[in-house]
Amino acid sequence: MDPVQTFKSFYSAKPEVVTAAPGRLEFVGNHTDYNGGLVMGVAVDRGIRVAASKRTDGAIILRSEGMDSIAESNINEIKPLNSDKSWANYALGVFDELRKAGMSVSSGFEMSVSSDLPYGAGMSSSAAFELSSGLALGSIYGFETSTANWARIGRRAENNFVGMPCGILDQGVSAFGQRDHIVRIDCKAETFDRVSLPHGVHFWVFNTSVKHALVDSLYATRHKECTEAFEILKQADAQLECLADASPQLVEENKAALGEVCYKRARHVTEETQRVREMETALSTGDLKQAGALLFGSHDSSQHLFENSCPELDLIVEKLKGIDSVYGARLTGGGFGGAVMAVTSSEFDESFAEELATEYGQRFDHKPAIFHTQSGDGARVIS
């Protein structure tokens, strides 16, 4: 439904503002963010739309096309909501952070939310909701800031209010996304750039719906191993500020001191950071063959060095290697299950995807969910 009509169906009036923000795919740079490295993401052509208006009282009311529950709060008592209303915490958290940033508020607001992102596909609907909510609230309350600050406000809302310790990738890509571009983020300096993406590139997402039973503890373990690797390498080079600052050569020279596990984690992070640099060169020259090779190389590193892949993801990537219209593929996101992203030409179509899904289904007890998208624009005010 049109976001204006959605709002009218809930509140019987036209909204003051309508905004949109895209979902995203992690393009390359796996687990480099919290290690101070480089990462690339692409905004997709689907996302979250928000419509909002100020109220005359202090009430806050949020409704969503996809949710039966009505989330309610008040400007004088902002706190996280529970159970079936917890979806609203992303917008409430942004509201809370905007007030901390100096936004003047004298009355509440009502908001409607709609989405055309596939559920559970790892395309960061939360960041899209944060960015679209931020722009909507900024518009009705007269608050302006930079694109980078919108991303930071969204990240702080997720960290501080929702309680999810995410990095800046999701919000940065949703904020800075642009059609036919990749967003490149230096996570240590927290700077954002765009790199041209050849027109006509397609993205296919194969969501396995597999999630390792110990995924949270595995994330924590990888984080700890990376920290240990950094501390060891810092003894060899006191100038290091983060693990991603280390060179692959320094890692090799300290292989024995690192030990097998920390050595593999350090190799992945340093080589993956280098892959982001090489990807920037490949994309700037339109060399999709080289870009694809880097994507396959990234997955191989995740599989064998960072060990955050799984048989389901590996099978999909291996099958995609044999298709001429596929430039490259890799797991996207945290791993230990989840989804594979394939970068393809227009010749790759539903028939290829379904054939792969059938082969996957013969090996495992289910088929992956398939989603096709292209690059899209970042967070924006529509009307």
Residues noted as catalytic:
170
157, 158, 166, 143: which is closest to 39 by C-alpha?
Answer: 166
How far is it, in rounded angstroms, from Cα 138 to Cα 7?
18
Confirm if 335 and 211 have CB atoms less than 8 A apart.
no
Q: Count CB atoms within 10 A of the CB of residue 344.
A: 24
Q: Which helix (H) or strand (E) holds 229?
A: helix 215-236
3-state secondary structure of 219: helix
How far is it, in rounded angstroms, from Cα 287 to Cα 295?
13
DSSP state of 245: G
What is the rounded radius of gyration, in angstroms, for the C-alpha atoms of the chain? Answer: 21
Q: Which amino acid would we find at residue 88?
A: A
Which tokens belong to 118? Answer: 């596939």
Residue the block writes with tokens 């390792």: 212
Residue the block writes with tokens 């709060």: 73
Kindly provide the residue ranges of all beta strands, DSSP E only, lying in the chain, ordered along the sequence. Answer: 17-28, 38-54, 59-64, 71-74, 109-115, 181-186, 191-196, 202-211, 326-332, 337-344, 369-373, 380-381
Which tokens belong to 199? Answer: 């027109």
How far is it, in rounded angstroms, from Cα 29 to Cα 298?
8
Confirm if 316 and 357 have CB atoms less than 8 A apart.
no
Confirm if 115 and 44 have CB atoms less than 8 A apart.
no
Confirm if 226 and 261 have CB atoms less than 8 A apart.
no
3-state secondary structure of 274: helix
3-state secondary structure of 181: strand
Q: Which helix (H) or strand (E) holds 212?
A: none
